[in-house]
Amino acid sequence: MTSKYTPLCWAEKACATMMNDYAPAALPPEGRWHYHQGVFLSGMKMIWEKTGNSKYLDYIQGYVDSLVQADGSFEYRDTELDSIQAGVLLFDLYKNSGEQKYKIAADTLINFLTHWKKNPVGGFWHKEIYPNQMWLDGLYMAGPFAVQYGKEFNRPELFDLVVGQAELMIQQTKDPRTGLLYHAWDQSREAVWADPETGLSPEFWGRSLGWIGAALVDILDYLPANHSRRNRLVELLTEFVAAIAKFQDQETGMWYQVVDKGSRPDNWLEHSCSCLYVYAIAKAVRKGYIGEGYRAVAEKGFAGITAMAEMDESGRVTIPEICIGTGVGDYDHYVARPRSQNDLHGVGAFLFACAEMIG
């Protein structure tokens, strides 16, 4: 079923809803440099790029300026990759204003990343409290920022760093039967969830896979056309899309919280992962990385996410069925996770999907 609203209408009304609910500095978790705000504002940045409406960039700047001081200093948690993602907001602000504080803040984050802890085979730890563990989420939290930094400021070694992380993570987590990626891998095999032989977590969590898809298409935006491993990254993206498409719910067009177990009665259709898949697939088609035949998958997915979303008579948008976030666990753990409405990474993912469906 096709929505009566255009993708641009959905996107602008979703932005207006959140802008009415929160001053930029009050976006939750308030007063923190965090990927929740970063993901939502990344989506808003896409709508700014589509419309040219300065109110969106002004709102983004309001968040950044509430935390980044005039000398470029700011507080962030230097114990987790999650702290890096919001760095993608700094580049346009620096280009548009010329203010050095944005460049200094970006320098701070790239220095943090390049000195971050790695496991013995060179994979970034997800957090300091999770030694030697690689989580799928981490590629999105750090990868797009690092390759954009590399392009903007002539740091080509960052391209190799990010591509190496992507290849390692996918190599270690890929299931040969389904082509899906397990949520996490612990090289030390010490985590409670880790398989004693492989170190893999037991399930395919929806949003973690969504982060991989979004990371790959975004990394390719900044990876040089002549990079020696660019074609390999396109191959990995192609394989990812082929695997994900097989698990699309044929009735709704959406995807499940635990991706491969849609037949279980306690599993549920999760909005944010469905949005991220639509984004990755639609963008991959538009960029020519995958065949035009996948456009129908993205269109069906977009119809599903807009059918589940709500817009009232005043234009207020409600995005439901968003997993609030999770650690790594078993099937029961994932399906029992609380669900929220208008969670920032849920609305952000929705804006990603809308932006790509605008065309």
Cα-only R_g, the chain: 19
User: Which residues are registered as beta bridge partners of 318?
Assistant: 310
Kindly write down the DSSP assignment for every residue of 234-302, as one continuous string: HHHHHHHHHHHHTTS-TTTS--BSBTT-TTSTT--B-HHHHHHHHHHHHHHHHTTSS-GGGHHHHHHHH
Does residue 330 have an active-site annotation? no
Q: Are 208 and 335 in contact (CB under 8 A)?
A: no
Query: Of 355, 289, 343, 352, which is closest to residue 317 (Cα–Cα)?
Result: 343
Helix (H), strand (E) at residue 127: none
Catalytic residue among 137, 186, 260, 343: 137
Counting beta carbons within 10 angstroms of the beta carbon of residue 98, is it exposed (0 to 12), middle (13 to 18) or buried (19 or more)?
A: exposed
Q: Torsions phi, psi of 249, nearest 5? A: -70, 120
Counting beta carbons within 10 angstroms of the beta carbon of residue 42, is it exposed (0 to 12), middle (13 to 18) or buried (19 or more)?
A: buried
Helix (H), strand (E) at residue 328: none
**Residues written for the chain:** 359
Query: Catalytic residue positions?
Result: 137
